[in-house]
Amino acid sequence: MDFKDSDRIPGPRTEDRLPDTAEAAVKIVIVGGFGVGKTTMVGSVSEIRPLTTEETMTQAGIGVDDNFGSASKTATTVAMDFGRISITDELVLYLFGTPGQERFWFLWNGLFEGALGAVVLVDTRRLEVSFDVMGRLEERGVPFVVAVNSFPDAPRYPLPELRTALDLPEEIPIVECDVRRRASSRDVLMTLMRFLHSLALTGALT
């Protein structure tokens, strides 16, 4: 059977191809409660067109999903977000954003498989959501850093106070960020990579 050019499956865009210099690829998960900015972070920092699985929010979520602080949110991730960023010419990170709604958390286990580390995004208006998120990472043995997303209307607290409120050990990094900005999201990922490197040096990273 002959195929016309219009029938052929298009190949990857030039900018989407993995650099020839890449020697190591690392899987990173970005987790957090509903509406904390996971999809935004993947989209802002990814060097390729991000894959998203967002669906329009419906009446079915009323009374089930906690959309406090996200009343204007019209779509939500139902499976995952995916992106990629080259940290150096040799090191590439594959980013997987998890769904935030608790009814989709059963998908997290599959996304955690093979992950070297994680970013926990936190909204200071809903700190209590973070405890379950961090607990799941600890159960799976996935090292993580905490990134406080700076929403315009969210209260601001000194990082030492947030560390105490989240009951974070001193060794786990906590940083502020604005996930809408590529540079800020990249700084969070660099903080995670430095943390993972320090764990590797001490033999704590398996």
Residue ranges covered by each domain of the chain: 21-202
Residue 149: its pLDDT value, please? 96
Residue 111: its pLDDT value, please? 81
Helices (H) and strands (E) in the chain — how many of each? 5, 7
Residue 152 to residue 139: CA distance in whole angstroms: 33
Question: Would you say 116 and 95 are in contact if contact means Cβ atoms under 8 Å apart?
Answer: no
pLDDT digits (tens, 9 = 90+) for 135-180: 989 999 999 999 999 999 899 999 999 999 999 999 999 999 999 9
Residue 2 pLDDT > 60, yes or no? no
Choose from 65-79, 86-100, 161-175 the range with maximum mean pLDDT: 161-175
Residue 193: its pLDDT value, please? 96
Residue 7 pLDDT > 60, yes or no? no
Domain 21-202 has CATH 3.40.50.1220: no
Residue 184: its pLDDT value, please? 97
pTM: 0.79
Of 95, 6, 105, nearest to 49 by C-alpha is 95
Residue 204: its pLDDT value, please? 86
Instruction: Kindly provide the b/e burial profile for residues 134-160, where b requires at least 16 CB atoms within 10 angstroms of the residue's own CB.
Output: bebbeeeebbbbbbbbbbeeeeeeeee
What is the three-class DSSP state of 24?
A: strand
Residues 6 or more apart whose Cβ sits within 8 Å of residue 65: 34, 57, 76, 101, 102, 103
β-strand partners of 122: 148
Residue 20: its pLDDT value, please? 62
